[in-house]
């Protein structure tokens, strides 16, 4: 592996674009591919379409030096990376059609000696399925190309840093594939590179996210019990965590994003008779947004024309990613139930997504407007802008704090 190679990155979203930019910043030529023409145009102007610290500077640098260009279609290259969504269908069944489509796109451009890496979080066996698609149309490539799976394990808001610093699990379909993939990642990853099988690497990614989901579910369930018993859950968890072998996570309005809220279902689909705990955790976390809505409905009882301000729409703090966001679920349900006039405060977006606008009367406002106009303030995401709000400004408001940052200045309803 050397820097004179060409890399094709299929998918320029929250993982694909940062990875492509990081590789290109090392002086490697990267040909980015995305089906969204606006995304292609934006990147080629040296700009970005997502909020992520340090990303725009990296993209600007790579584009200006000619190392990163975006296109609608792949081209021949040395390494092909696939980082496209893997959602689930009805019944929580995995949907790998995006991976299959991306694979079909690169098949005509593959040649002897190429390396194909799937980075999308996928059900166990997806890498093998990808190989089957390749060899069905290009049987002459069997044994002449390398195919591997290498999932990201990054935190939105710290993606660039963690892409470079975190350890990676690399699983090839054979020893040669694993070694070729390891040599490639060594060009831009400073973390340790751990070689395993493709199936183990696939299961590793799912296991990591299911582990986090189960632990969040415990915290969320405790928070519901504490609400019923009139106990401050934040104080409780702080005290419990003083035990040297206890580390309870913080509860919230649910679990969002394209990983933790989705990936555990992939495990359940593979072994439904053996995954009772994982399934239950998913149900607990999926039910939490509806519990928050019930809190808000109860709080509106004393108001003839309640105004509700929901602080945060993203699935986590300080990003613009609304995928699988429990905050969006909560706002949608409040609109559907006509709980009152609803205001949304989300400093990381400029316009409301259509799926919210269609739900009823909803305005995107700044924090000052929300505090001035609303009777009920619902804290759903701990964005830095909300953490910095002077508690004195919230006096006289009914506060429902799902993140524990305003709890000491208002009353939990």
Query: Domains of the chain: which residue ranges?
Result: 6-191, 208-409
Q: What is the mean pLDDT of residues 23-33?
A: 96
Q: pLDDT tens across 317-358, in order? A: 998 889 889 999 999 999 999 999 999 999 999 888 877 765
Which CATH class for the 208-409 domain? alpha beta
CA distance 37 to 167: 33
**Per the confidence metrics, is the pTM higher than 0.85?**
yes
Reported as a pLDDT band with limits 50, 70 and 90, residue 252 is very high
What's domain 6-191's architecture? 3-Layer(aba) Sandwich (3.40)
> Which residues participate in catalysis according to the annotation?
205, 259
Q: pLDDT tens across 207-238, in order? A: 999 999 999 999 999 999 999 999 999 999 99
- The yes-or-no answer to whether 6-191 and 208-409 have a common fold is yes
CA distance 411 to 77: 59
């Amino acid at each position: 592996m050397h820097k004179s190679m060409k890399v094709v990155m299929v998918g320029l979203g929250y993982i694909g674009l940062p990875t492509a930019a990081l590789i290109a910043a090392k002086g490697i030529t990267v040909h980015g591919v995305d089906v969204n023409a606006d995304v292609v145009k934006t990147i080629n102007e040296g700009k970005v379409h997502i909020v992520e610290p340090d990303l725009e500077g990296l993209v600007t640098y790579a584009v200006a030096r000619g190392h990163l260009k975006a296109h609608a279609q792949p081209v021949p290259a040395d390494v092909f990376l696939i980082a496209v969504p893997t959602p689930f269908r009805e019944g929580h069944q995995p949907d790998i059609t995006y991976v299959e489509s991306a694979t079909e796109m690169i098949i005509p451009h593959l040649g002897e000696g190429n390396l194909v890496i799937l980075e999308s979080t996928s059900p166990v066996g997806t890498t093998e399925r990808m190989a089957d698609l390749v060899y069905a149309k290009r049987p002459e490539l069997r044994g002449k190309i390398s195919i591997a799976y290498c999932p990201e394990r990054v935190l939105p808001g710290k993606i660039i840093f963690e892409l470079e610093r975190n350890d990676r699990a690399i699983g090839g379909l054979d020893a040669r594939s694993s070694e070729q993939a390891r040599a490639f990642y060594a060009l831009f990853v400073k973390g340790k590179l751990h070689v395993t099988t493709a199936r183990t690497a696939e299961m590793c990614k799912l296991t990591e996210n299911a582990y986090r989901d189960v632990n969040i579910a415990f915290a969320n369930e405790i928070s519901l019990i504490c609400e019923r018993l009139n106990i401050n859950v934040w104080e409780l968890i702080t005290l419990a965590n003083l035990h040297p072998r206890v580390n309870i996570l913080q509860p919230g309005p649910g679990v969002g994003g394209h990983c933790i809220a989705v990936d555990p279902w992939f495990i359940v689909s593979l072994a439904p008779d053996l995954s009772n705990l994982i399934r239950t955790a998913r149900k607990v976390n999926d039910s939490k947004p509806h519990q928050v809505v019930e809190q808000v409905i109860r709080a509106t009882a004393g108001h003839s024309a309640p105004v509700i301000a929901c602080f945060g729409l993203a699935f986590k703090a300080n990003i613009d990613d609304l995928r699988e966001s429990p905050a969006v679920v909560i706002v949608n349900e409040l609109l559907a139930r006509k709980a009152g006039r609803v205001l949304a405060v989300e400093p990381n977006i400029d316009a409301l997504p259509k799926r919210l606008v269609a739900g009823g009367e909803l305005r995107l406002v700044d924090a000052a407007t929300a505090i001035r106009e609303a009777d009920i303030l619902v804290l759903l995401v701990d964005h830095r802008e909300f953490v910095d709000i002077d508690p004195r400004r919230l006096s006289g408001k009914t506060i429902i704090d799902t993140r524990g940052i305003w709890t000491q200045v208002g009353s939990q309803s």
